[in-house]
Amino acid sequence: MTDPSVLVQSLTPSAVHAAYSLIQPYVHRTPLLTCQTLNTIASAPQSPEALTGTPYEGQAPANPKFRFFFKCENYQRIGAFKARGAFHALLRLIAERGKEEVQKRGVITHSSGNHAQALALAAATLGVPAYIIMPSISTPSKIAGTKSHGAEVVFSGSTSVEREAVVADVQAKTGAIFIHPYDDANIICGQGTTAIELEEQYRELLAEKPHLSIRQGSEALDAVFTPIGGGGLNSGVATFFSDKSTKVFGAEPSFEGADDCRRGLEAGERVPAVSTLTIADGLRTPVGLLNWEVISNRDKIAGVFAVTEEQIKATMRLVLERMKVVVEPSSVVGLAVCLYNEEFRRLVEKEAPEGWDVGIVFSGGNTTVEAIGKLFS
């Protein structure tokens, strides 16, 4: 890879707009939803018991105010935002190398499921062979979804090191061109197109229903949350908002060190490896080198917060039961931060006593009835 500190200069709002122009024929403009019930729940103090065992035990709980705007990428093609980056990366690759070469060699990637399905779909749509390396513990529905688009699936271990070893082996045999699942400028710009729609839809919605905002006449979201795994979505969204007033935050699971980005920011250096079996299976990878260049820039990312497995499950239950929206665990970590992370809740209360309008990106909905039942059994 080109030096990330140099490559990051190509990540601009105009590059995200250019990506959107290219991929529009291939992706959905997903809906923006609101939920008064979740606004109310988040805008009430947590119980004192919820703070037991935290640095805030014995203190009065924070009482921030929220209005949420949910960007539902679970309704995107293949059920996740990853379709945006996959189509953009493959379309750019074909433009650079020519369709004949790309069709002859094919493309290869590694993914636990959502990027796997996305690249498989993009490759099938554009007539390109695809080889997808997937951890053997991937969700069965994601494996089936990837195979359904005609991709050749090869299984690997669950860590990034194990995945990359199998990628190298298959590449040596096939000559397939590698498209990184998240650490790639074209992937990042593609994922960033989520933010274009989010901002447009927020303004359109408030023009029709201004009472939905915390402030009358609001023109911009106060903040946006995305999950962070490899960091492609978060850095893409942050790139789009980099010349605007909207603050961008990231959210991670804390289980078994899955909050590598949060820990890396605290330590002042990127954490290069992660080994975790968090229920948020789309967030089990370390932040990529290029994405780290964006996320570690405080002018672009306002902060990263982590939540527990129980908080993720409680949030997922609320979304399923109160919004009637099917999401996977990885999708809800941003909302979980707003509901349960006392550090973040105190930040909002301090910075804006009147509250914030917050965009929450539901990154995907690739789960099954069986998986949901097992999660809550």
Query: Which one of the listed residues 82, 142, 247, 300 is annotated catalytic?
Result: 82
How far is Cα 367 from Cα 328, in angstroms, rounded to an integer?
Answer: 6
**56 touches 84 (CB < 8 A):** no
How far is Cα 327 from Cα 360, in angstroms, rounded to an integer?
Answer: 13
Query: Which one of the listed residues 71, 111, 112, 142 is annotated catalytic?
Result: 112
Tokens of 196: 């274009």
Contacts of 342 (CB under 8 A, 6+ apart): 46, 51, 54, 56, 61, 62
Strands 130-135 and 107-110: parallel
Quickly list DSSP for 119-168. Answer: HHHHHHHHT--EEEEEETTS-HHHHHHHHHTTPEEEEE-SSHHHHHHHHH
How far is Cα 25 from Cα 197, in angstroms, rounded to an integer?
Answer: 14
**Residue of 124, 116, 128, 130 lying closest to 85 (CA atoms):** 116
* 313 belongs to the catalytic site: no
Q: What does the chain come to in residues?
A: 377
Quickly list DSSP for 251-282. Answer: EEE-GGG--HHHHHHHHTS---------S-GG
* 112 belongs to the catalytic site: yes
How far is Cα 129 from Cα 141, in angstroms, rounded to an integer?
Answer: 21
Strands 152-156 and 177-178: unpaired
How far is Cα 228 from Cα 284, in angstroms, rounded to an integer?
Answer: 9
Indicate which residues carry an active-site annotation: 82, 112
